[in-house]
Structure formats: structure tokens, C-alpha cells
Chain A
């Protein structure tokens, strides 16, 4: 990796809103001392802002003395990172084989039809972002769904999915 000194003349113009810029700089300050800091920085930014805004890319690239293309390449490689904030809740349905063996294909079809969206999309009311995940390590108890950061659910039949949506709707109100 090239380790030349950052050139102040090419410092990115900071087009982020002030609060977001502060969060990005805080993430960089907290993480950049370790080798291979890019993923920890991206995680920290997303944890703070719900996403990694495109305008954060030049700031991060500058701090790590890497090109914007490199940072964009990393950002776009990993499915966890998003460029816009998700809905109020993120619901991840496990698509992997062990859940398929317990009925997840029916769950997937039901969830998409019920919400009127496909994976990677957010329901019209902004309540639910639906995502696919390839294994949650709950392979004996599927179909499995992960709600938001760490709320793991087992045995999600289509009826249980509807109940989950009602529960989340209540939590939003």
C-alpha cells in the first residue's frame, strides 16, 4: 500500500451536513490508528448514521490516503453497507438451505407479497426494509429472521411474519 503523505491541496471539500461530518470524523479518529482500518471505519460510520453517505467517501479516502475509487470499491463489495438510511426496521430473512428445508421459500414469497417490495427495498410507509441474508447460524430453528441489530426470531411461518409486522408497527407508533 502506498504510504505517501496526504496532500492538503487535494483535501476533500466536505459536503456532508455538519452532524454527519462530525460522525464521520469521529469514526475516523477512533479507528484509523489500526492497520487495515477501512472496514472498522465504515462500520462505525454506518452505526452512527444508519448508512455510509456517498459524500463520506472522499473524506474517508483522504484520511486513509487511498483513492475514492478504492474506498467505493470496498464499500460496494460488502452487502452490509448501504448508501441511504434504511426504514425504521430492517427485517432480514434467511435464504439459506437449512431454512429452506423448514419452509423459508414460502416465507420469502409471503413477505415480499405482503410488503409489496423485493429484497433491498423499503416499504412505502418507510417502516420496513426487507433484506436477504445467507445464514444467521440458527439452522436448527428456522425459518429464521433477524430484526434490526440483534433480535433473532425462530420458526417464522407466514402467520408469524404477519404477527411480527404488527408487533413492529406497534413499536413504531
Chain B
């Protein structure tokens, strides 16, 4: 045990974008010039972006060490921190106290994100010291069917957005492997099943996958290894979007460490023979759709497949394939370690457990809040988020990414629960909440939804590929007042065609932001548009 003081600075992409690297370098330089023996640990982010770069120092408080945080700390303020004796927790205007004691943090229920911002994501020792691999250890003592049962009993639903019951998906793959177990190994070595992690987190307003992969990558690896045991797979893939270079480095380091220490890629029969390959996407939103993702992994254009067959029956390279989102896999270790009942006791209705909620857009305090299902939008936007960053009234929020509905103030009391949001025409999706102040032009947001669909359509379904382009044109005619009533009818008709004539959610749900914008904010769809001086160009003061 070294006697040096431990100082923690996030290496998370958002923290870096706010200057964490410069702050960390300044700390190292100051320590060197003052001859202070200091161990600089790079962590994930606690998810309080208004405090980033957040610097924490470990204090030896007699019993267990605890941490005092300072934030946001610019590189130029580091010298002052040293002068104020921050290594001993000294007083300073940037001192915010123990991070866990902050109101924002204390009210959260962090299961999935328990270690994020706390541990060194590259250190397996740190992971093990904070409860890592306890879920996998327990899984190794269970029969595959018992693991599946545990996940089923937890009530976990797919966190990627579709909210399909995870246990049922696992059971389907498990059964498909059992039924096809006699299949000879093919030339490509693709016998058995595959476990695929969908890390193509493309929805605007969502970044929980990124934060988890950067801040606690071993948790994802552990969840996938448990899945491998449950469904009888020996090969896993993580399909990571190329827009996440920091997550890529964190995963590469963690995968190498897990292999070196025998948690992955062990000898057959050890229960640890499962291995994971990391694959990088190439800038296609549609590859977040699971069948397009599988085609992309196979080296093809990322085009959506017709279902059935379900990927659980015939997925990657024609084998039974379990595809889950990062947060779904990362929720599994705690379920195995602490039991299905522990997890199921969080939440409401049919939405069990916790959800890492991401506050984004025009809010004073953005960041990650992990809570049991049931918290209302209003609590999140105002209690946690602190209202708009611009100081203007909030006008609309979009929940669930670019395919989610826009909700007006009148719906801010909706609880975050899959069914409750669906009941008001919304979608919880991956748990991203994007807030807009009253300078937003909702016509422009509706137009953008169609534009995004046109840009990202894989092209397989005509309603999505061409209907989205027609949608932009119809919207523009509506705004210009050309045959207004007829074009409003046409827009609704077009939206019906998109919804019912598309294979996947991109074409199927693009109507949701468009229709909700039109339904709740019809005044923005009238020309000439002079009501909102911002003209959709919100500015953060």
C-alpha cells in the first residue's frame, strides 16, 4: 500500500470535452513541482456534467477512506487548489464535499452505475475490489436454465429501447441452441450461439452506454460472459459505433485485461472459455437496429432483415443469436450477484429495476441519473435538471431519442415507465431526455425528424426511403400555407404509410416526433413564423 495521496480525475469523453485532460495534466505538473507524492487515477464520470472536470481526493478519515470532490476545476485553478490544501480536503470555492452526499447523487439508486466514476476502468483489481465478477461466480455455480430463470424473474426488459423481456429472449436462444445442438460445426467455426452486444448508441440524448463502457467496461464483459453461459455461446461480439473512440479504448484495454487474467478466453470446460471480439461500426444509425447490426457484423450493408426468423433463432451467420443492449448486459451482474428479487423490488408496474436516465439538451444540470422506474419527467427536468440552461421556460421534451414523441408541459407529470409513456403516445426508449426551451421551433423539429429518417434510412422499405423525403416536402408546403388542409391530410396519410409499411422502428416511428409536434404545437406550423424570436436557434447563456 502506497502512502501517496490518490487523486481522481475522469477520463470520460464528456469530462474530456470539458477540459479534464488539461486539469489532470496541471495536477500532475503541480504535484511534481511541489514534490508531492500523488497517484493520479483516471475514472469514469459521476455523471454530473455541470461539475466536470470533477476532481476527487481520497481522505484517510480514520476508518475507510472517503473522497472529497472539487468541481468544476479548470486547469488554471489547479495551483489554487494545491495552495488551499485540497489534498487534505481543504476549503476552496470549488469544494463540493463528498460526491455521494450531494443531493443529486444521494437520491439515486445506482445499481448498474454503482462503480462508474468510482473505479479505475482499466484496473481489474479495482473491479474485483468493488464487487466485480460476483455475478459471474454465482452463474458458474448454476445450470444455464437457472441463470435464464434468474434473469426472467428479475423482470429486466431490454434497455436498448424496445423493452422486450430479457429473460424470454434468453430462453428463446437457450431453447434454439438445445434444439439445434446436433448441428455440426460449420467451416467458419460458427457452431453454437452468439452473444452480441448492441453498443451502437445512436439516439440523440443518450449516452449511458458510452459512460458505462468508458467507466466500468468489465461490468459489460461480465454481463456478456454470464449470457454466454446461459445460452451456450462461446463467442461474443460488441458492435460499437465509431463515434465513440474513448469507449473503444476502454473496451480494448478491459478485454485484454480480462483475457490475460483468464476471465475470458479460458480453456474449454473451464466455464471461462467465452471470448468477445470488438467490432467498430461506420457511421450508420440504422445499425442500432438489431438485424441491420447483424448484417453489418457479417460484412454487409447494414440493412434491416425481415422477421421472422428472429435473431434468437437464426441470427449472426445463421446461428441462434442473443442481441442485447449495453445497459441490459450491464444490469445482469447485479441481478446474479444479489438475486432476482433484489432487482425486481425496484420499479413500478411492469417496469422493474432501475433505469439510467440521461438528462440532455437545454438543462442547467445535465447528466446521468439512475433511478427506479416511476420518477416523473417534471422531477427530472426541474429537481435534477434545474430547469433550462438558458433561463427561458421549457417548452418541449423529447424522450427516447429521435424516434420519440415531443411532449409538452402538460405531460411533464408522466412517470418514467414503459407503459405510462406509451399511454401518452410517447416512448421511453433508451432513457434519454432532451429538453428544449421556448425558443424551439417545433416545425423545424418535425422537419428534422423526416430529414434524419431520409439520411439514415437503410433503403429497404419504400415508405421509409421515399416517404421521408416526401414528408419534408409536405411539411414545407404546410408551413408555406399551400393547400394547407389537403397537405395536413396527406401528412397524416403519409405517416400512416410509414408506420405500417416499414420493417423497423426508423420508418415506423419517425411519424411520432412529427405528429406529436403537430398535435401539441400546431401554432408553429403556420406561416409566417414570427412568434419565437429565437427561431429554433437556442443559445446557452
Asked if A pairs with B, the answer is yes
How distant is the Cα of A16 from the Cα of B206 in the complex, in angstroms?
Answer: 42
Is A17 interfacial (CB 8 A cutoff)? no
| Bound Cα distance from A155 to B49, whole angstroms | 12
**Residues of A contacting B367 in the complex (Cβ-Cβ under 8 angstroms):** 140
Instruction: Name the B residues within 8 Å of A73 (CB-CB).
Output: 301
The total of chain B residues at the interface (CB under 8 A) is 70
**What residue of chain B has the Cβ atom nearest to residue A96's Cβ?**
B204
Chain B residues, CB < 8 A from A36: 279, 297-299, 317
CB of B536 closer than 8 Å to a CB of A: yes
**Given the complex, which residues of A lie within 8 Å of B277, measured CB to CB?**
34
A48: interface (CB < 8 Å): no
Q: Is B201 an interface residue (CB 8 A)?
A: yes
Is A101's CB within 8 Å of the partner chain B?
yes
A43 within 8 A of B: yes
**Chain A contacts of B283 at CB under 8 A?**
78-80, 133
Known: A97-B205, A139-B434. A106 touches B190 (CB 8 A): no
Would you call B244 an interface residue if the criterion is a C-beta within 8 Å of the partner chain's C-beta atoms?
Answer: yes
Q: Is the interface of A mostly helix, strand, loop or mixed?
A: loop
Contact A134 B361 (CB under 8 A): no
* B452 lies within 8 A of chain A by Cβ: yes
Across the A-B interface, how many residue pairs have beta carbons closer than 8 Å?
170
B residues in contact with A101, CB < 8 Å: 360-362, 434-437, 440, 538
Q: Mark B442-484, 1 if CB is under 8 A from A, else 0.
A: 0011001000100110100000000000000000000000000
B242 at the interface (CB under 8 A from A): yes
Question: Could you say which residues of chain B place their CB within 8 Å of the CB of A152?
Answer: 13-14, 16-17, 246
What chain A residues lie within 8 Å of B245 (beta carbons)? 149-150
Q: Does residue B358 face the partner (Cβ distance < 8 Å to A)?
A: yes
Q: Are the C-beta atoms of B361 and A102 separated by less than 8 Å?
A: yes
How would residues 71 to 106 of chain A score, 1 for a CB under 8 Å from any chain B CB and 0 otherwise? 001100111110000000000000011111111011
Set B210, B282, B432: member contacting A39, Cβ < 8 A? B282
* CB nearest to A135 among chain B residues: B204
Whether B536 pairs with A79 at a CB distance below 8 angstroms is no
A74 surroundings in chain B (CB, below 8 A): 299-301
Of residues A42, A64, A138, which shows the largest number of chain B Cβ atoms within 10 Å of its Cβ? Answer: A138
Q: Using Cβ atoms and an 8 Å threshold, which residues of chain A touch B537? A: 103, 105-106
26 contacts between A and B (CB under 8 A): A36-B298, A39-B297, A43-B280, A73-B301, A74-B299, A74-B300, A77-B284, A77-B458, A80-B242, A97-B402, A98-B204, A101-B435, A102-B389, A105-B444, A105-B536, A105-B537, A134-B402, A135-B203, A136-B13, A137-B201, A138-B14, A139-B205, A139-B360, A141-B17, A150-B246, A152-B16
Pairs of residues from A and B, 7 with the lowest C-beta to C-beta distance, nearest first: A140-B366, A96-B204, A101-B361, A38-B299, A78-B282, A139-B360, A154-B17
